[in-house]
Structures are given as structure tokens and as C-alpha cells.
Chain A
């Protein structure tokens, strides 16, 4: 098995995450799909780190994890704030700019 098989998995997971962001309406599920995309990118980083034989990719994945954790904290706080004002976690309901 070649190490690049991990890259295929990573590409597939990224694509699935992208579809989820577009298709699902629950803001929390959309958020989880974004996390899936970040994780897929992380897997690519780790695989490239192995292919290239240095640890830079792993450090990058580490930074991505920290940024993702921050993003989750702020994003979920935004979802809770929106839910408080609109009583809905649907991404379709927050469409004030459209009208």
C-alpha cells in the first residue's frame, strides 16, 4: 500500500464535508461538516509530512487543530446567540439581508 492512499481518503472526506456544508440546514451539522473538512486537510498534512520526511506538516496540523478549536468555540457561541434571538438553529432562517 502506498502512503498516498491516505490522500485519497482525505480528498473524499473533504468532498463529503463540502457537500454537507451546502446541503444540510442545521447550523450545528454544517459546523460539523466544516470540522470534517479541516480534519481531512490535517490528514493530508500528516501524510505529506511522512512523504517528505520532516515534521513541518505535523506542526501545521497542530496549528490547524488549535485554530479549529478556537473556531468551534466562537462558532458555537454565535449559534447559541442566533438561537436565542430567533429560536431556530436553521441556516435558512437567518436571511434578513435577503429582504
Chain B
């Protein structure tokens, strides 16, 4: 989230698309209710199903899953055509005026530079024209036909209300009502918030779904203001933290990146990470990259990371592919190229697409280690459970080691919520049986490996034996010790440049924030964006002061939020070019003549002049981006693509299947179905009574929603002769499941390009362990393909067929 849950109360309009907050995030959704009750805010829901969020909406419109980009570009087109633009914001705070290189264009659904063989673009034309002064060329009059604004205007002109209806199945009048409601938020005194979740991410173009809305929010001037923002509701309780700390193939904590093999030396690595400003006087804060990186290396390898060995640069792995994401990992496993796998609190047998492939991949491993508080299906993938897990254990040679871990109630530490608040928690109960904390288990693995390398030698032992592990009890680092490392500390004294008798930084002290980090090895910091969470003032994440001056919803003294306790990102954009709030009744940060002041920690240098330094300090432009240059693989603007399995042909680009640059492994292409064979558009979703595959282990939740079902419309039920509560078989090109049929009015057939499209809803909470009845999940059916930029699997749009079958004998 750019903002926070409690900030939603400040909004005038809530748009829920790609999420269902009333069911999936009920206690956060209360802030929508607050905004409705106290500000007269309106709620719009656009979803294939009439969800519980829709049931309390002021306006609902249906949409076919996988067509959100067409809808949103349609809204942008509407705003531009009707002059519903926050012009001062767009001209100054976005890259609308930047001039794009000659040669860039878009035709037949593809941007310039497409290579069909490689399924990739040569993105060299997707960039700004650079002037003789070394800065990007801009045309503040927006007259240049190649400026971002004019390119955008032309790019979205295709998406008329009529085309939106053809693609999305959203009736034109409903689309126009919503476009009108949204466009009113272009007023500087009206804000809109976007609340979205996996309904937008789980598509082969998920990143561009989100970008489309982010662009719309910029055009309306809704980023950096109270009640505005792009608010990813997010899933698990610490999904934000795990992402921030970079537990991903290609990440270093704080969104730094793991080197590739094209960067053989630290100098080569840094040569593409200079982040030179693209406009005069801009902060381009990533210019501090080297300080964050060196401090991270010091946190990893302590005294062994020295200037002489380039701070142990060689000890980081160098990637040969963009990332070994989970889809690639399971593809390699399936090819027999992986031997070992660890699942820490993760249940891939039910979480990853094409379950048949997942089972087959796990069966080829030599060993699988599962660390979990609950008995997961993954740990038992080899166990026969009849139709629910039809395998022959004697044919599976994988050795499986299951380790019992503590759960939240038995562990101490911080979790980062979707609003970026790091909240500390304390244990309340003793672990059951022999369960141990994950930190203890990781320490044991590390200490044993280190011991083996010391005793036996082996390949490149240095990064393991030199890992900085100076904890009071090396067998179990405490949460406080680890949090202090994340915050960062001073490795060696740094003299004060103005008075050499004093020290600027004193060895052994916690750094106050990332502003103190250095690139010479004198500071260490595990995760620069978390710096400030546990400094010399103490554990800021444990703060519990509920004061909130003027009821802005900021709660600056409750827990701690990254970065530097800032609650609303880009908050300098809440004021105009003179530093005066756009909306006096909802002011957030303003210029007092000498410095920035307000209700939040300024997201700008405190004395940076308002008409000189622009608000988007992380970007070399100083502005936000309506055009992303070459930063995304599938285009500098979003463009409508159908899901890989779609009931209709892409009317914008009939020749293009799916996202043209999404990575598809060869065998998976053969496993895509088409609409002739599989006529119905399926989607997956969650229920309010369940959380993924955990709550089926909790008695109360297992009672509340005991059994796997699929949800279909009355029309489809009639057409197929399916009875309410009857049993159905649903199958795709990859698998088949049986389920109870829930026939509802919540789903209605859509008409897309003259064709009737029926939707099948498939919730995801059942498996073969726990207290609920045994069942299946959507992953038995879904395709093995991910988003082109970040490989999130396409769970929300795929094709199935359905038929009634005889139910189980009572």
C-alpha cells in the first residue's frame, strides 16, 4: 500500500477491482464503511461475481476476468476526452512532458521491437530523448507529438466505451456511470483509493493491470494524498515483510538485486546502478545504492567483507536467467534437474498451478524438507488419499523430512502489514510437542553445514564459514538481535568531518536510519528500508501509542512503518508546486516557507524547495511515470491481452495469444486448452471463513465451510442440467475435480463480442489434511504460466468444462 488501512477513512471514492476486501480483509474493510458513513464516500465494485463487497457497494458492474486493462484504459480515455485531468499534477509530477525517442510505436497489439522467436522485445526505443545537456528532453507545453502525454492519448484512444463492452462484457451504460464517478476525482479536492489484491496480480499481465490503475490515479492526482493511493491489500500476514527482506531468487533485502553473470565484478555491477538524475536538481535517491549494498554485505559477512575483496561480492550467487522463480524451479524439478527442496510454511502441492505436474516434480526430488506448524499436503504428497491424492507411495523415491515449527502464538518478532507497519508481537503459549522456532531450525542447519565444511572441506566454503553469526546463543538468535541487524549498526568509528575530536558514528551503536549508512564498510545493515525500526531509541516496532493528532489516521507513534516511519508514500505530492495543500480540509504535508511540515514524515529532503525538487524522489526523473521506459518486459504502456485460455479472441490483436512476452515452457504450451473444447471461463477465489489451506485445520472454520464447491449461474445450471447442491465434475486440459454445485444469482453470464460467456467460480480452501472434508483446489485445473514481469501464476482466468455427475452415496 502507498497509504494505510486507517487512511481509507479519508477517501471520497473507493474502487474495489481485483479484490474482495469485505470477505478477504473484513477488519480492514471497516475503514471503507467509515468513509461511507462519515464522509459520504461512494464504493464501486467491478468483479465477475457479485461479491459481498459488491453487496454493500453504491455501484456494481460485472467484468469478464482478465480484461481489467481494457476497462481501465477505457476510463483513462474517458478522462482525457472529457478533460477530467488534474492538470497541475500531471504536468509537474508525472513524466507527461517527457519526449520519447523516435521509432517507438504500437501496432497490432505489439510495441516496437518484438521478436516472436524469443517471445521478447528489443526495448531500445522505449526511452526518452536525451538532450545535449545529458538530461531528458521535455516539452512543458505538451505540444510535441512524441511527448508521453500525446503518446498515451493516442494509445488509449482505441478503448472506447463500445470496445470496453465488447471485450469486458460490461454494459456500456454501466461502464460510463463508473467512468463518470471516477473522473470526478480529478478535482484537487476529491480523492479516490484503489483497493486490489490477487484478482489483479494472478494474471499473465498482472503487473500491467496494476500499472493501469496507477496511471489513472496519477492522472487524477490521487497518489501521495490522504484517502488516495494504490493499495495492495496483500495476502499473508507477512507477505510484505518477506518481499521487503527479499526472500526471492533475484533480490537482496530492500529491493536491491542479485547480480547476474554479466556483472563479473562489483564495479561492473555498480556501473548500471548509478541512477544519475534525468532532470536537473532531482534527488534520484537510488544514487545511494552503493551504501545500501555495502552495508548489506557487511551484515552478511561482517569482518570478512572488506574493501580488498570488494565486500565479498564473489560470495553472492550470479544469475544466468532473470530469476529461479517457483515456476522455473518446478519446471527444473519436473525435468529431473533439482535434487533437494525446502518448504518453510508453504504448501506448493495446493498452491502452484497444474497439480499433476507439481506431484510429478516433487516425486523426482531426492529429498524434500517441510517446516510447518501444520500437517501439510505437500509433506504428504506421496501418501495415497484415494481420488483426493491418487498416488502409489511405492513408486515415489523422494525422502521427506517433516519438521514441526511454532506458530504465531508461540513466537516473538515483527510482521509487516500491507500498510508497511512493522508491528512487534509477543508469544502467548508454549510450543506443542517438540515444535521449534524457524530461527532455531535455520541456525541448526547453518551450524551443522559450517561444521561439515570445517571438518571435510568442500566447494567454496567461504560464504558459509564466514557468515556473520555472532549471536549470544548461536543456536538460537533472538528476535531482538535479528531486528537490530535489520536496522543496522556502526561497524567502526566514523570521525565527524567538522570536528575530528568527535565521532559522527560510534562503533557498536545502532544507526538512526539509512541516512547514516556508508559505502566504506563502516556500517552494516540487513535491510536498508527497515533502518530505523530498532535504533538507539529502542524497538520502535513495539510502540503502542494510539495518539493521532487531528484524526488523520496516520498513528505515527503506533508501531513503525518503512521507510523512516512514513505513513503515506510520495506525500509531498499532496501539495501543489508552491507547497500549498491541494485540499486544505485534507492537508498532509506543506511548505512553511523554509521546510516541509505536516502530519507525516516528509517524503522529500526537509528543505528541498517545492518548485525545484519533484516528489517522486526514487525516480531519476523526479516525477512519476505514465510511460515506464524499458522497465517492464511487456510494454511501457499497458495493452489489452487475453488470458492464455480465453473464451474469446483478442479483438484488439487477433493474432496474439495471451501476453506475447509471458514465459511459457514448451510442454506447458501443449497443455493450454481452447474454447472449443473448454467453453467456460473459470476463476479462483477465497471465502471469508477460510484462509488458504490453514483454516481447514481449525475446527470452527472447518464447520463453517466444510466442503469444496464450485459456483455457477442459474443459466449455466439450467443449460447443463445441474441441480442446486448436486455434484459436478469440472475439468480442464490439465486435470479434473468433483465438487458440490452452488447455483447462485451472484454470477451471471456475460456477453462479450456477441458471444455468451459463462463463468465458473472455484474457491481454494480444501485438500486432504485437516478437519474439513477432503476436497480439491483450483490448482488441479490451472495453467502453468505466470505474469510476464514477475511470474505470478495465472489463477484468475482459465478454461474448463463442467457436467453433472452422480453424487456420493449418503
A, B bound: no
B residues near A, CB below 8 A? none
